[in-house]
Chains A and B, each alone.
Chain A
Amino acid sequence: MPAEESRVPINSDQDIVLARQKGRALAADSGFSSVDATLIATAISELARNIVTYAKHGDIALSALADSGRRGIMIIASDQGPGIVDIRQALRDGFSTSGSFGLGLPGVRRLMDEFEISSAPGQGTRVMVKKWRQERPEK
């Protein structure tokens, strides 16, 4: 269960930087390696940018996870924007309706361990991702 949640309002490109810095700090506190912390910070950056680009306003909620000894991090990006008409298309590499590269969602899915999206036209978008710490067996 999420131990604590911190919520970052996303209203401008400055907030993208703030959200990924908070995510990196939480990842470091949770014992993630610097590579994983960078993956997490980058995923947050992509999710927060989608909010600014498509919905203008939304928020990113960050939580540390502990599940039967496993530690992880959960990120929920939510907005009340226009929503996504065709989610399958949005998850394909190279697809974008904003004139950007369209790497956002498929890239985020590759960076993280779990990925869930719910969205409908006019209903906003919610993306939940999780990354679990890789436990190295004791030698």
Chain B
Amino acid sequence: MEVPILKQGEFLIATIQAALSDADLEQLRMALIQRVVRFRSRAVIVDVTAMDVMDSFASRTLKEIAQMIRLRGAETVIVGIQPEVAFTMVQLGITLESVATALDLEEGLVYLSQKFKNIA
């Protein structure tokens, strides 16, 4: 299941639409970093609303995506973590401390537009 990545100006929006296998997550990581380079994107939003399980592998892959994108000078925002998923992540001991998060896609876009307005 390939994750569609939408280019919206200087931002990229990746919307996960179904349960992803480990290979799908690794494919997403590669696709995102390639597009950030190609489009000189300033930020990436990963919408995980449809993810019903965020285990240690998925969390680690998202963290790695954010770190790689930061090395390119861009920012990553994870949006749409479901309440049950958030509860489970805390119980598992998973943190996404170094990654920006927002409630949903709309809030993620607000966060980024404010951030980049302040820089400009």
Q: Which residues of A contact B (CB under 8 A)?
A: 13-14, 16-17, 20-21, 24, 34-35, 37-39, 41-42, 45-46, 49, 93, 100-101, 103-104, 106-107, 110-111
**In whole Å, how far is A24's beta carbon from the nearest beta carbon of chain B?**
7
> Can you list 5 A-B pairs with a CB-CB distance of less than 8 A?
A35-B83, A39-B84, A107-B56, A107-B91, A110-B91
B interface SS class: helix
- Could you tell me which residues of chain B, from 47 to 101, have a CB within 8 Å of some CB in chain A? 52-57, 60, 82-85, 87-88, 91-94
Number of interface residues of B (CB under 8 A): 22
Question: Chain A contact residues: over half helix, strand or loop, or mixed?
Answer: helix
Cα–Cα, bound, A111→B90 (Å):
10
User: Which B residues have a C-beta under 8 Å from some C-beta of A?
Assistant: 19-23, 52-57, 60, 82-85, 87-88, 91-94
Q: Return the contact of A103 from the options B82, B85, B94 (Cβ within 8 A).
A: B94
- Residues on A with C-beta less than 8 A from B93 are 93, 103, 106-107, 110
Residue numbers in A under 8 Å from B82 (CB-CB): 38
- Given A16-B22, A21-B19: A39 and B91 within 8 A (CB)? yes
Task: State A104–B54 Cα separation when bound (angstroms).
Answer: 13
A38 contacts which chain B residues (CB < 8 A)? 52-53, 82, 84-85, 87-88
Which B residues lie within 8 Å of A13 (CB)?
21-23
When distances are taken between beta carbons in the complex, the residues of chain B under 8 Å from A106 are: 93
CB–CB A42/B88 < 8 A: yes
A100 and B84 form a contact (CB under 8 A): no
Contacts of A111 in B (CB 8 A): 88, 91-92
Name the CB-closest residue of B to A104. B56
Contact between B56 and A16, CB atoms less than 8 A apart: no
